[in-house]
Structure formats: structure tokens, C-alpha cells
Structure 1
Amino acid sequence: MSASSDRLPLIRLEALPAEVLVDLAAGRQPASLGRRCEEGALPPPEVAGRALRLLASGVAERWSLPYAMIDERGAIVGACGFKGAPCLGLVEIGYGVAPLRRGRGIAAAAVRLLLEEAVIRGGAHRVLARINPDNAASSRVADKLGFVRGEVALDDDGEPLAQWLWPPSTDFAHDGEAP
């Protein structure tokens, strides 16, 4: 998958292979990447572990594997992906960009590709991004792409997360409940 527009950088997404995820889940730097990788661009161990569990349970790779964000020079500058297969037409996404590459439109370009993958090729009808209210940059990305912010709820670890839904739903925007 790749995206480019007048305002967004050229980014392409490549699924991270299972052997890379095994290293990441164990907290090791993968030796098998075969390309330059910006510091902080790869998914954290808990994301890699979740991906491996989803794969092991039979969830399709498109919904299980995190994607590396590849810039025009071929470097990995971030990662994004789905947090499982769609349920009742709703799929959740997550994304992150290497600290030194933030503020350049990379996350917006990658999320736009995820939206296309989810809705056009994946059959999802809605996309959810749960973002810490203190994460202004991620909130700006969601807002820029037409997500609407809903209620803030605590996740399983007690972290407050605002629910951002795309495409916007009047009910979601007014009563703060996810579909």
C-alpha cells in the first residue's frame, strides 16, 4: 500500500514478518529487517505479542500483522496496523511514528492507507482509534482525517483513552458511545 498527495508525504506500508515480531515481542532488535530503521519506529513488545497471538488464533494477516511505514528513501519511520479483524463492521487501528520523524504528515498518510485497506479492501464500515487525550499530535491526525472524538474511557491498564470514530456518526459524536 502506498499514498501520496500534495500535502502528505509518500509513504508505503509493508507488513512486518512474523520473525521480526518474534524478536520485537522478546524485546530484541530484529536482525532480519534488511533496511534502515529510525529509533522508536517499530512497534513495542506488547503490540508484536498481540499480533503473534492473533496470527496463532487464525486471524488473517491483514488484520494481525503490524505494518512498517516506509518513507521515500526506504527507511522504516513508524508502524501502524489493525488491532484485530472487524467485529460488526468496526475495526480498531493504532499507529506511531519515530520521534525524530513526527510532525511531517507521516502518521496521517499511513492512517489514510489503513482507512482504505479497512473499508475498500477489508469490508469494514467503521474505524476506531483510541487516543490518550494528552496526545495532541495523534488527536490532530484523527481530526485531520475526519474522525470524530467521542467519550474518554479507561482501558484495561487504567489509561484514559478518547474514542475517535471514522466515518463520523451523529450518535457517536453526541452521546459519546461507541457503536
Structure 2
Amino acid sequence: MSSVPAQGPSAPGPAPRLQRLGPDHAVAILTGQDAALVQEIFGRRWDEDRLSAFLARTARWTGDGPIREFAAVDVDGTVMGGGGVRRIGPGIAQGEAEVSYWVLPRHRAHGVGTAIAQAVVDLARADDRVHRIVLRIAPDNAASTAIAARLGAVPEQMVEHPADRTRRARRWVVPVGHL
């Protein structure tokens, strides 16, 4: 699996590397998911069958396709978190890419989230089809809000939460730079 180094201002030691998300990451996700990931990213707790089906789909996605998902791993291949770039979906306009990032509990509060988010933003920024990078973050998610600010994102209006349509999220925009 090819990977992309994640660069973050406060990441300890070697930065996590992004790999295309696939079946090899299932155990880490199943055993590492907690209430925060379920609420903010996954929408509901993964079970083995649903996660296996999802990861099988991600393995078929093309590297430059409209939806790309990644695992962030350390030098030993341990999954630390992940993220994604989506150019299609609800709330995503033509020329936009929505970026997501997540960190497994044992890797939080060490700068890993910033490193993962920066790497995923850099992938979106490198795509000439993307003219606007957006994040959707729940207003009570202080860690993710801080990461967005470190990325230089600017808060905009409240929108539908990507993992739960009954909740609201703040839309943030990250400068692209190749306009």
C-alpha cells in the first residue's frame, strides 16, 4: 500500500502516514472505536459485517476518485486514525471537497489529529478540481475546532452534521491556494 506522510506542527516523533483505507484496517477500527468517533465520524457503531462491506467498497475506489478514505499509521503500521476527501455528497458543491479526520482514543492529545488533518487537506489542495475545502464540525467538538483553526480554516454558517442529520455542525473553509 502506498502512503503519504502526514505533516503536523505538533505531531510527536515521526508523523503518521496515510494509506488507502482497506480491509487490513478493520480490527483497529472495530477495537478502537469509542463514543466520540461514533458520534462525530461514523454515525453509528461499526459491527464486523458492516465495516467489512464498507472496507471492501473502499478497496475498489480509485486513487483520484470523488471519494477517498485513508488510515493514518505510525512507522510500525499501527492505525492511529484516518481521514477522507469527498468531492461528492450532500452539502458539497461542485469544486468543493469535504475533508474529514479522526483519531483513535489512545493517540489523542498528542498532535496526531493535526498531522492527519493537514495531510488530508494537502491531498485535497493538490487536486486541481478542488477550489474550496470544507470541514463540518460540531460546535461542541473543541479538539476538532482547534485543529480547524490551526489549519487556517475560517468558520462559516451552521449546517447539517455529516454523521447525524438531527444535529448541526459549523461549516469551516480552508484556504486552497491554487485558485
TM-score, structure 1 as length reference = 0.68
Q: Which of 148, 152, 156 lines up with 1:150 in the alignment?
A: 156
Residue-pair matches, total: 153
* SS across alignment from 1:134: coil
Alignment partner of 1:40 is 2:33:
yes
Which amino acid is the alignment partner of residue 105 of structure 2?
A: P
**Match of 1:80?**
83
1:59-90: CA deviations, max 9, x gaps? 74444242001023321011211234585321
Which amino acid is the alignment partner of residue 12 of structure 1?
A: R
**In structure 2, what is the Cα distance between the partners aligned to 1:50 and 1:161?**
24
Paired residues of 1:132 and 1:162 also in contact (CA < 8 A): yes
Higher relative contact order (CA 8 A, sep 6+): 2
Higher mean alpha-carbon deviation, 36-45 vs 90-99, is at 36-45
Q: Which of 99, 120, 123 lines up with 1:117 in the alignment?
A: 123
Higher mean alpha-carbon deviation, 105-114 vs 138-147, is at 105-114
Higher mean alpha-carbon deviation, 119-128 vs 158-167, is at 119-128
> Where do 4+ consecutive residues of structure 1 move more than 6 Å?
34-38, 46-56
Q: Which of 157, 163, 167 lines up with 1:159 in the alignment?
A: 167
Unaligned runs of 5+ in 2: none
Paired residues of 1:14 and 1:69 also in contact (CA < 8 A): yes
**In structure 1, what is the Cα distance between the partners aligned to 2:117 and 2:172?**
13
The alignment yields a C-alpha RMSD, in angstroms, of 3.5
| Larger Rg over CA atoms | 1
**In structure 2, what is the Cα distance between the partners aligned to 1:6 and 1:147?**
15
TM-score, structure 2 as length reference = 0.68
Unaligned runs of 5+ in 1: 21-31, 169-179
**In structure 2, what is the Cα distance between the partners aligned to 1:97 and 1:143?**
17
* SS across alignment from 2:126: helix
1:37-76: CA deviations, max 9, x gaps? 67228974489877877888xx744442420010233210
Alignment partner of 1:64 is 2:67:
yes
* SS across alignment from 2:110: coil
- 1:3 Cα shift? 2.7
- 1:123 Cα shift? 3.5
Which amino acid is the alignment partner of residue 140 of structure 1?
A: A
Higher mean alpha-carbon deviation, 116-125 vs 96-105, is at 116-125
Paired residues of 1:35 and 1:75 also in contact (CA < 8 A): no
